[in-house]
Amino acid sequence: MLTLKADENVHFSSDEFAGDNLDSLKILIVEDDRIYQRWMAKIVENFGSEVFLSSNGTEAIEILKKEPISIVISDLCMPDTDGIELTRHVRNLKLDRYVHIIMVTSREDEEDRRQALSNGVDDFITKGTNPSILLARLRTACRMVRHEEELAQRHEELKAAVDHIQRDLAAASTAQKSLLPKLDERFADVIVRSQFQASSFVSGDMFGCFAFEDGFVGFYIVDVAGHGVRSSLNSVAIGHLITKEYFRRNVIGGDGNCTPADLVKELNARFAQQDGDDYFTMICGVIDTSRDLLHFCQAGHPSPLLAVPGSPPIAVGQGGMPVGMFDFAQYQNGMAVFPPGSVLLVCSDAATEAENPEGAFFGDVRLSAFMSRALSENSKTMTEDLVEELNAWRQGAPLEDDLTLIEFDRRH
């Protein structure tokens, strides 16, 4: 390899090339004609570029592997590796930059040019052309190289920003999941089991369960509308708000009466006054094991399935309005018998709205059939089994929404 340094007085007195910005660019000239090679090199070097010379394609590839070449000026016809084959090799190299290739031809052959373009050549000049044409081509190449460098820099900056955001989201996801209880324990005489799957880094779902004296077991599930950071921040705020004491104060009266609708009303009054269009669906309730009753309030959340001994699962609740959407929304208390041997299954809408590859929903009928089958088999892993059932239904497709499943079991 020869790096040419100016040893001749080749200058251009015209100012027609003023403003060229070839400084710091490394240019490789591949030409087996020694005289023409040095002539092109002298023209390029007078404008500040570092020039590398090669007389064949094999040597040119080795230079490209070692040096950060930005522009290649190559003869089309060479004895060992012609310009088209050289271009093909360059495009197959795993370089960290784009190399602009100018092909030097001695004839105006359209087929040669078509093949050259299809293999990755960027531009052409005719051998023996006026120096002004060569410099004009280099000006164009320089602009494209600078543009590619700017794009590469912006790409790296964006990648760094995305990596930073993903690390923050992963940390936020870990923190949020730590707020969600992994339930598999006894509250009074109710065994509570839960499963949760987030559809993305962070979730808009939040739930909690509390054991109180006198056999009361309180619970709530919230599903904030939307996806992403905004909905997850709202869900975390709700989770911090609904503490055990907050739940007791708003739901369980001193006389033992349970009014979960009061909790929903209080939340609606708080969130409906806020600016923005944030809202959430919710179901909350209390299982009174001393009286074998389920008290609940449904606010736009899917109806839970209740199975009492000797009867198939039935959906309880009438739907209701979401929380935070309208300040005039009304909420009602519901009640159902919940004797020993009963099971309550509460699911977010990601269960019934799970789609198979044909676009069919899992639906309420399949969910009820699944619960009947699980009860007939006396399954103690109903929520885990339902996750597997939904995964099989989706056949590997990702969740469209966060999945929350909670089972309240009095079969013992």
CATH number for position 79: 3.40.50.2300
Global pTM? 0.63
User: What mean pLDDT comes out for the span 181-196?
Assistant: 84
Domain count, the chain: 2
Encoded tokens for 214: 């006198």
In percent, how much of the chain has pLDDT > 70?
A: 87
Who's near 331: CB < 8 A, 6+ residues apart?
A: 261, 264, 265, 268, 297, 299, 320, 321
In a domain, 165, yes or no: no
User: Domain containing 276: what range?
Assistant: 180-409
Average pLDDT over residues 189-216: 85
Among 143-152, 182-191, 279-288, name the most confident range.
279-288
Q: 223 and 147 in one domain?
A: no
Percent of the chain with pLDDT over 90: 45
Q: Looking at the structure, do residues 221 and 353 belong to the same domain, yes or no? A: yes
In a domain, 66, yes or no: yes
Q: Region of 217 please: left (phi>0), alpha (psi -120 to 50) or beta.
A: beta
Q: What is the CATH number of the domain that holds 297?
A: 3.60.40.10
Mean pLDDT, all residues of the chain: 85
Range 1-9, long-range pairs (CB < 8 A, 24+ positions): 1/52, 1/53, 1/54, 1/59, 1/62, 1/63, 2/52, 2/53, 3/50, 3/51, 3/52, 3/53, 4/38, 4/41, 4/42, 4/45, 4/51, 4/53, 5/45, 6/42, 6/45, 6/46, 8/42
**Are 143 and 238 in a shared domain?**
no
Task: Let me know if residue 228 belongs to a domain.
Answer: yes
Residues 119, 67 share a domain: yes
Establish if 172 belongs to a structural domain: no
Specify whether 117 is located in the same domain as 194: no
Is pLDDT larger for residue 383 or for residue 276? 383
Element (H, E) at 18: none
pLDDT of 29 reads 93
Has residue 56 got a pLDDT over 80?
yes
Indicate if 238 and 150 belong to the same structural domain: no
215 plus 311 within the same structural domain: yes
Q: What is the mean pLDDT of residues 305-313?
A: 95
pLDDT in tens, 65-83: 999 998 999 988 887 778 8
Task: Report the pLDDT value the prediction gives residue 275, as an integer from 0 to 100.
Answer: 63
For residue 48, pLDDT over 60 is answered with yes
The per-residue pLDDT for 97 is 85
Residues 114 and 250 in one domain: no
Are both 224 and 113 inside the same structural domain?
A: no
Q: What is the mean pLDDT of residues 348-364?
A: 94
Instruction: Please give the average per-residue pLDDT across 5-34, as a whole number.
Output: 60
**H-helix or E-strand containing 409?**
strand 403-409
Domain assignment of residue 171, yes or no? no
Same domain, residue pair 191 and 335: yes
Per-residue confidence (pLDDT) for residue 228, from 0 to 100: 67
Instruction: Tell me: do 109 and 199 sit in the same domain.
Output: no
| Together in a domain, 266 and 358 | yes
pLDDT tens digits for 106-162?
766 778 788 888 888 989 888 877 788 888 888 888 888 888 888 888 888 888 887
